[in-house]
Amino acid sequence: MSQGLDGPHPEARNIPEGRRSPEGIRLDPQNGADHERHRTVISALVQHEPGVLSKVSGLVSRRQFNIESLTVGSTTNPETARITLVIEESPPGIRQVETQLEKLLPVISVRELDDDAVRRELVVLKVHGEEPDKVHAITEMYSGTVLDAGPRTITVEITGDEQKIDDAIDAFAQFGIREIARTGQTALARGEMWTTDAEEERYERT
Amino acid sequence: MSDHVSTVHTDEQTTTTTEAQSDEGASPVTNGAEAVVAALKNAGVEHLFGVQGGAIMPVYDALHAKQEQLRHVTMAHEQGAAHAADAYGQLTGEPGVCMATSGPGATNLTTGLADADMDSDPVIALTGQVPTDLVGHDAFQETDTVGVTRPVTKANYFASDAETVGDMVGEAYTLAREGRPGPTLVDLPKDVTNGTTDSVPVSPTTPEYHDIPETAAASAVENAVRALSNARKPLILSGGGVIKGDASEELRAFAIEHRIPVVTTMPGIGSFPEDHELALEWAGMHGTGYANMAISHCDCLLAIGTRFDDRLTGGIETFAPEAEIIHVDIDASEISKNVHADYPLIGDASRVIEQLQAAMDEEPAADQWREQCQTWKEAYPMTYATPEDEPLKPQFVVEAMDELTPEDTIVTTGVGQHQMWAAQYWTYTEPNTWISSHGLGTMGYGLPAAIGAKVAAPDRDVVCFDGDGSLLMTIQELSVAVREGLDITVIVLNNEAVGMVRQWQDAFFDRRRMASEYQWVPDFATLAEAFGAKGFTVREYEAVPDTLEAARAYDGPSVVDAFIDPEENVYPMVASGGNNAEFALSEDQL
């Protein structure tokens, strides 16, 4: 059996008392290191090429980021697409999502959107059609559209922020929801601000 | 064969002359495969490591006429090709090129690419693929290579037409070496490489938005320098990025001028001379006790080119728990990934050290700290028991070979106990003398890496330390070393076991040695002879120097089968996820 090495036993050593948080932040009573998770929206302008969504989703799953939704669609420029991620992470985690995304080759620019960003989500839901008038009334109440109405089912579309969609789904539940298809959020920066850094130079007036 | 799509660049490409580094300038091309070879030639590639096969045959055919300029080393297995390219890339700073056919050829490459990815080594892989009209049909020897390698490459490409394939290879080559290096791959369908084109690849470029930071922001440098100057217990942590960023010289000058002690990571071995008084050698799971004490007690850690791997940090909560951290890295996504950086400096290692050097006008007042570091060096010496009788201690063999070889000798290793002894008991004083598999921990890395190293640096001594278990994973590459006449010395630290696993089973699994001890291992000396190499066996202390010298003196590959104490273990050791300051010096301390 190996005898090992010489030197003071661990118990005889001066071991520092300081500690770090699981995020690797020094726990300093003055600064604190309390990082609550919160939901936020990240927009990524990417090259519109095969495999880009796979690369982004692969990164997300491999790094174990907590993703609520991920949507993708074309932009004014046929060479680019926009990916919108809703994530729930601590601020250091959000920075990591941004920098890791930026490292992917087809990703052009990334930004976490401000709280006042315009965010929308779409739900298409199919309810039982026994009470068409009531379904119609609820649909109007949520500024929705009836897409299909038959003797047994009615399919409607509601667009809005996440809270509105949640509320609408609750309201339609009284009729019995047969099926539901819900997109994730998609979003743009409000007003004249460009959503990510590279938008302006890649903008093509359509 | 599917139709080719012409691109808007076609005319430009056919008329653009390249900045070819070859004497002949840009050669005309007639098909995609020739465009691939022209791109490699443009980039200045001199060596390739690969294995032939059906889907990559057009590229090999295009290489046939260029054998004088592009020397192809035929490896025994694609994994060997990737590891050889990896070591070659590390030593030359230019991407090592490996090639394989589709399907099993490509999947065999994958381990080597994953290894290069973890260690940020520049490698470009070229893989054959079934013709595009068969892709997705489960054709013979088809694999979704791009899909399989996506998580283990820096970038990968599927070539879709002969017109652009040359430029694609050029871009992949450039990406592999620029910024934080890493492996890239271009998958080459057979119809694309066979496809007609006269498009000569242009000089490689990368997307303009993919910009690499050079220097850190001046204000960030100022703040970092203030923190470092005010420190009473400053410490430099020099990572593999210092070597890859060619910043060892700048690092030495900075540390020595400001008299700041230096620990390295394991990939950073050689970035600072281990025989210097400021050197505390490497930290982490099997690093020195003094390096781990210094990391645990420092109040300001200047970490350069490291990703704070868990083998280095131990448990995050106890890693450098009282230190402000200045983190220099060229990859912004490394900042605060594992350990929060109080002062992030994003940029090229050598440029940022120059910035720090220019901004630093006050040496930290750290006399007491330096003295403390020396005390730790004395308190936790790297020693081993050398009994009078056998069996041999592996550390003795490592030290004996170090004494016999010049300072610039390249050491490669497999993965396991032998790797740790080779790192601990050899004194590294120069960058690019230590080539090992760090992040992925790939058993079998050592021999093919030695081949790549010897091809890259034919005038330097190359010594591969391997374990019996590790060597058996890629021993077929010995045939390549013989065929190519490569003068490398393989030293097998033979304990007839997967020693590191056995050590862990003893320590953490109540000595249940399941599948870690070999009931029988081949006679490596005889096996070496069967391959056409020179074989040696050594069991006694007295015979070690002469045997090693004879192996070294042999002009060609030699293998020394050194029977070591099978019960010898690696210490110090920080338990996985443990506190670096609580490193164990023997099993009963774990």
In the residue annotation, B382 being an active-site residue is answered as no
Sign of CA dihedral B307, B309, B312, B316: positive
Range of the domain at B310: 218-379
Question: A139: number of CA atoms within 13 Å, CB side?
Answer: 22
Residue B121 has pLDDT above 90, yes or no: yes
B344 touching chain A per CB within 8 A: no
| pLDDT one-digit tens code per residue, B41-76 | 999 999 999 999 999 999 999 999 999 999 999 999
Per-residue pLDDT averaged across B200-208, rounded?
83
8 Å CB contact between B60 and B194: no
The pLDDT of residue A205 is: 83
B175 touching chain A per CB within 8 A: yes
Q: From the CA atom positions of chain A, what is the Rg in Å?
A: 24
Which two three-digit tokens encode residue B562? 């050194």
Residue B14 has pLDDT above 80, yes or no: no
Cα torsion B19, B25, B30, B32 to 10°: value is -40
Query: Quick one: B12 and B92 in the same domain?
Result: yes
Conformation bin of residue A51: beta by default, left when phi > 0, alpha when psi is -120 to 50: left
Lowest average pLDDT, out of A121-130, B7-16, B74-83, goes to B7-16
8 Å CB contact between B84 and B91: no
The pLDDT of residue A66 is: 85
Cross-chain residue pair B332–A14, CB shorter than 8 Å: no
**Which run of H or of E encompasses B68?**
none
pLDDT in single tens digits along all 206 residues of chain A: 457 899 999 999 999 999 999 889 998 755 555 678 899 999 999 999 888 999 998 888 888 888 899 999 999 999 999 999 999 998 888 999 999 999 999 999 999 999 999 999 999 999 999 999 999 999 999 999 999 999 999 999 999 999 999 999 999 999 999 999 999 999 999 999 999 999 999 999 87
Per-residue pLDDT averaged across B115-124, rounded?
98
Task: Kindly write down the DSSP assignment for every residue of B130-175, as one continuous string.
Answer: --GGGTTTT-TT---HHHHHGGGSSEEEE---HHHHHHHHHHHHHH
CA distance B409 to chain A (A): 28
Query: Quick one: B544 and B433 in the same domain?
Result: yes
Cα torsion B251, B257, B262, B265 to 10°: value is 0
CA distance A53 to chain B (A): 12
| pLDDT one-digit tens code per residue, B441-480 | 999 999 999 999 999 999 999 999 999 999 999 999 999 9
Query: Quick one: B250 and B322 in the same domain?
Result: yes
Q: From the CA atom positions of chain B, what is the Rg in Å?
A: 25
Spatial CA neighbour of B282 closest among B307, B304, B264: B264
Q: Which residues pair with B123 in a beta bridge?
A: B96, B183
The confidence band for B572, taking pLDDT boundaries of 50, 70 and 90, is: very high
Domains, chain A, with CATH or none = 38-112 (3.30.70.260), 118-186 (3.30.70.1150)
Q: Is residue B200 part of a domain?
A: no
CA distance B24 to B22: 5
CATH of the domain at B175: 3.40.50.970
| pLDDT one-digit tens code per residue, B318-347 | 999 999 999 999 999 999 999 999 999 999
8 Å CB contact between B1 and B191: yes
CA distance A53 to B145: 17
| pLDDT one-digit tens code per residue, B253-301 | 999 999 999 999 999 999 999 999 999 999 999 999 999 999 999 999 9
Q: Is residue B128 part of a domain?
A: yes
> Is B232 in a helix, a strand, or coil?
coil
B340 touching chain A per CB within 8 A: yes
**Closest CA in chain B for residue A5:** B585
CA distance B150 to B135: 17
In the residue annotation, B141 being an active-site residue is answered as yes
Query: Quick one: B330 and B243 in the same domain?
Result: yes
CA distance B541 to B546: 10
The pLDDT of residue B554 is: 98
The pLDDT of residue B24 is: 47
Spatial CA neighbour of A101 closest among A50, A51, A55: A55
Query: Quick one: B148 and B233 in the same domain?
Result: no
Domain boundary among B323, B347, B379: B379
As a whole number of angstroms, the longest Cα–Cα distance in chain B is 76
Q: What residues contact residue B486 under an 8 Å CB cut-off, 6+ apart?
A: B450, B451, B454, B455, B462, B480, B556, B557
Q: How far is CA B124 from CA A54, B94, B95, B410, in A?
A: 22, 10, 6, 22
The pLDDT of residue A61 is: 83
Query: Quick one: B409 and B318 in the same domain?
Result: no
CA distance B457 to B46: 13
φ, ψ for residue A85 (rounded to 5)?
-115, 135
> Is B188 in a helix, a strand, or coil?
strand
Cross-chain residue pair A2–B568, CB shorter than 8 Å: yes
Which two three-digit tokens encode residue A37? 């998770």
The pLDDT of residue B383 is: 93
Q: How many domains does chain B have?
A: 3
Q: Is residue B212 part of a domain?
A: no
B408 touching chain A per CB within 8 A: no
Residue B147, class by beta-carbon neighbours within 10 Å (0-12 exposed, 13-18 middle, 19+ buried)? middle
Cross-chain residue pair B318–A19, CB shorter than 8 Å: yes
Query: Quick one: B179 and B246 in the same domain?
Result: no
CATH of the domain at B371: 3.40.50.1220
Spatial CA neighbour of B157 closest among B135, B175, B144, B172: B172
Query: Quick one: B367 and B419 in the same domain?
Result: no
| pLDDT one-digit tens code per residue, A70-127 | 999 999 999 999 999 999 998 888 999 999 999 999 999 999 999 999 999 999 999 9
Q: Where are the alpha helices (DSSP H) in chain A?
A: 52-62, 91-103, 132-141, 162-172, 199-202
Q: Is residue B387 part of a domain?
A: no
Per-residue pLDDT averaged across B505-520, rounded?
96
CA distance B240 to A21: 26
> Is B413 in a helix, a strand, or coil?
strand
Q: Is residue B97 part of a domain?
A: yes
Query: Quick one: B243 and B120 in the same domain?
Result: no
The pLDDT of residue B59 is: 98
> Is A26 in a helix, a strand, or coil?
strand
Which of B19, B21, B140, B589 is the catalytic position?
B140
> Is A124 in a helix, a strand, or coil?
strand
The pLDDT of residue B16 is: 36
φ, ψ for residue B584 (rounded to 5)?
-90, 140
Task: State yes or no: cis peptide before B572, omega within 30 of 0.
Answer: yes
Q: Is residue B36 part of a domain?
A: yes
What is the bridge-based pairing of β-strands B488-494 and B434-435?
unpaired
Residue B547 has pLDDT above 50, yes or no: yes
Query: Quick one: B424 and B457 in the same domain?
Result: yes
CA distance B260 to B268: 17
Q: Is residue B588 part of a domain?
A: no
Strands of B419-508 (E only): list them.
Answer: 434-435, 462-467, 488-494
Q: What is the mean pLDDT of chain B?
A: 94
Alpha carbon distance, N-terminus to C-terminus of chain B: 62
Which of B190, B244, B454, B534 is the catalytic position?
B190
CA distance B179 to A87: 28
pTM score, two decimals?
0.93
B383 touching chain A per CB within 8 A: yes
User: How many Cβ atoms are within 10 Å of A28's Cβ, its own excluded?
Assistant: 13
Query: Quick one: B246 and B352 in the same domain?
Result: yes
Interface test with A, best of B160, B168, B336, B493 (most A CBs within 10 A): B336
Cross-chain residue pair B582–A15, CB shorter than 8 Å: yes
CA distance B10 to B16: 10
Q: Is residue B78 part of a domain?
A: yes
Query: Quick one: B420 and B532 in the same domain?
Result: yes
φ, ψ for residue A195 (rounded to 5)?
-70, -45
The pLDDT of residue B1 is: 33
Residue B251 has pLDDT above 80, yes or no: yes
DSSP B6: P
Which two three-digit tokens encode residue A73? 């669609």
Which of B13, B34, B75, B78 is the catalytic position?
B78
